[in-house]
Amino acid sequence: MEPVDKAPAPAQAAKSPRGFPRGAATIGIIILLISSISLLSSGCSNLRSFTLQDSEQLDNNNENDADKFSLARTQSFGFFNDITNDNWKILQNMVAQHWNHKFPERPLTHHPTWRGAGQSGQLRIPAWYQTNFEPNFSCQFEKRIGATGEVSRGNGDGPKWICDPHRIKRLAAERKAQDPNHPGCVIYSIGSAGDFSFEKGMEEELGPGTCEYHIFDMGDFEEKMKLQNISRAHFHRWGLDTQGEENTQPGAEFYGLKDTVKLLGHDNLDVIDVFKIDCEKCEWRIYRDWLLSGLPSLQQIQVEIHSGNIGKMHQAEKHDHDISPEIPFFEFLEEAGYVRFHKEPNIQYNDGSCEEYAFLKLDKEFFAARKKMLAERNITRVDI
């Protein structure tokens, strides 16, 4: 039987090396190229638009971030630059609601110099401090500063509580960047009795060369200070007294603070970063001079307050009606814009009759809510 002839198979198109018909491959490639060019053109346009919008958004975010910290930055004179407005308002509210006295109408209760009606037992300075003028502000990174070596290791009598020392270092760097001749930061230390653990500790904390240290004492401790190898430390053998007529003649035993600032060439400074003073009761005579016009602002004040026979001395000065100087002292500083961020009784060498206080200067706008609250309380004292 003859074999049946099969229908001729259609001619197969030539294959590309990858197995696709050459014509289809060419058409596909052309279509892909056209699509790619179209997408690329569109994509570049979108990318260009996205980049501009994104840049504008970032700028807006940066502005918003800056505004987010504006209250703290403005009302702390640049000291706090990373506390949000919401958190700053919490601190404002803390200060506004604070009570300075356990007995607001009789704040001299427990004070041994007052024997008025309603006075109770415990007529002792420690009992009085326990019921008056607690801290009303909080520094998140406050630190007790003293040399970490054998002198104190940050403990004992000598170290001081400093509000957020890393901020002092930042401000010093910013000032030096703006003016290479600026000292960076300046620290006054009045009264040392030959103990330089605080100044040494500050240098360890902030780094050598960050601050200029000016140490004042009536004793001859200059050589002992030099043994500490504190860079940019200067010893001045004189004491502070009430500012009177200008006296900048060398060799005096006492100078007022304004004279001291002028003698050291600091009358052009905006701020003294740390003003630490332990002068065995001279604080009662001179504290009003700390805020004289023409002086640099004292950003932080670390003071040891001493008790003793100071009532008569204070009355003689006729600063106010109180028979003790403590209440006018604290009210004076608060009115000037200072908050209290730490309080520590000195119980190493006495019974707690001496108190270490740490103050921080803020703009008076910070106290607006405080003033309103005090007006609403309308407390009338009955012990003066």
**Alpha carbons 216 and 210: distance in angstroms, whole number:** 20
DSSP codes joined into one string, 323-340: SSSHHHHHHHHHHTTEEE
Q: Higher-confidence residue: 30 or 75?
A: 75
Q: What is the per-residue pLDDT for 54?
A: 53
**Alpha carbons 263 and 250: distance in angstroms, whole number:** 8
**Mean pLDDT value of segment 218-228:** 94
Helix (H, G, I), strand (E, B) or coil at 46: helix
Structure tokens at 124: 């002792």
301 close to 336: Cβ distance less than 8 angstroms: no
* Predicted confidence band of residue 42 (pLDDT cuts 50, 70, 90): very low
**Alpha carbons 232 and 146: distance in angstroms, whole number:** 17
Mean pLDDT of the residues in the chain: 83
Length of the chain measured in residues: 384
At 155, which amino acid appears?
N
Q: What is the per-residue pLDDT for 271?
A: 98
Which residues lie across from 161 on neighbouring strands? 144
Q: What is the per-residue pLDDT for 13?
A: 45
Q: What is the per-residue pLDDT for 86?
A: 97
Q: What is the per-residue pLDDT for 316?
A: 41
Which runs of consecutive H residues, i.e. helices, occur in 214-271? 222-226, 257-263
* Pairing status of strand 254-255 against strand 271-277: unpaired
**Alpha carbons 20 and 11: distance in angstroms, whole number:** 15
* Predicted confidence band of residue 60 (pLDDT cuts 50, 70, 90): low
User: Over the stretch 88-137, which tens digit does the pLDDT of each residue have?
Assistant: 999 999 999 999 999 999 998 888 887 666 666 778 899 999 999 999 99
Measured from the Cβ of residue 7, the count of other Cβ atoms closer than 10 Å reads: 5
**Alpha carbons 55 and 185: distance in angstroms, whole number:** 37
224 close to 240: Cβ distance less than 8 angstroms: no
Cα Rg for the chain, rounded, in angstroms?
Answer: 35
213 close to 185: Cβ distance less than 8 angstroms: no
188 close to 137: Cβ distance less than 8 angstroms: no
Q: What is the per-residue pLDDT for 147?
A: 76
Q: What is the per-residue pLDDT for 228?
A: 92
70 close to 354: Cβ distance less than 8 angstroms: no
* Predicted confidence band of residue 178 (pLDDT cuts 50, 70, 90): very high
Residue 263 exposed, middle or buried by CB count within 10 Å (0-12, 13-18, 19+): middle
Closest CA to 261 of 226, 233, 289, 300: 289
Helix (H, G, I), strand (E, B) or coil at 189: strand
* Predicted confidence band of residue 17 (pLDDT cuts 50, 70, 90): very low
Q: Is the pLDDT of residue 11 over 90?
A: no
Q: What is the per-residue pLDDT for 113?
A: 81
Helix (H, G, I), strand (E, B) or coil at 79: coil
133 close to 334: Cβ distance less than 8 angstroms: no
Q: What is the pTM of this model?
A: 0.81
Q: Higher-confidence residue: 192 or 185?
A: 185
* Predicted confidence band of residue 64 (pLDDT cuts 50, 70, 90): low
**Mean pLDDT value of segment 130-149:** 93
Query: Helices (H) and strands (E) in the chain — how many of each?
Result: 12, 11
Q: What is the per-residue pLDDT for 79?
A: 98
Q: What is the per-residue pLDDT for 50?
A: 42
Q: What is the per-residue pLDDT for 383?
A: 78
Q: Is the pLDDT of residue 46 over 80?
A: no
Planar angle of CA 73, 56, 178, nearest 5 degrees = 40
Closest CA to 91 of 79, 105, 107: 79
User: Over the stretch 302-358, which tens digit does the pLDDT of each residue have?
Assistant: 999 998 554 444 444 444 456 688 999 999 999 999 999 999 999 888 888 899 999
Considering only 170-179, 193-202, 311-320, which range has the smallest mean pLDDT? 311-320
Q: Higher-confidence residue: 53 or 380?
A: 380
CA dihedral 12, 14, 19, 24 (to 10 degrees): -100
Q: What is the per-residue pLDDT for 315?
A: 43
